[in-house]
Amino acid sequence: MKMHTLLVAVAVAAVLGGCQRTSFGGLNTQQRPAPLMPAPVGGVESGQLAPPSMDAPGQFPEAPTQPDAS
């Protein structure tokens, strides 16, 4: 019987210990800043991708080169 009482007391203490008063004193009431405008990007290229290489499937392809800005 003592063990049962002890377990109930521990359970009640755990439940009451978990109950905490919360307040909104730390709530930020300032307005959020306006979102940033998106940055412009260069032109988009279209074209067909090269077929995958079956010689070495674990190898990465060569990096593309920068087109001339003419």
Radius of gyration from C-alpha coordinates of the chain: 32
Q: How does pLDDT run across 32-60, given as a tens digit for each residue?
A: 889 998 888 777 778 887 777 667 667 77
3-class SS string, 14-50: HHHHHCCCCCCCCCCCCCCCCCCCCCCCCCCCCCCCC
**Under 8 Å between Cβ of 53 and 59:** yes
Q: How far apart are CA 64 and CA 70, in angstroms?
A: 18
What is the pTM (predicted TM-score) of this model? 0.28
Show contacts of 43-50: CB within 8 Å, 24+ apart. none
Q: How does pLDDT run across 6-15, given as a tens digit for each residue?
A: 999 988 887 7
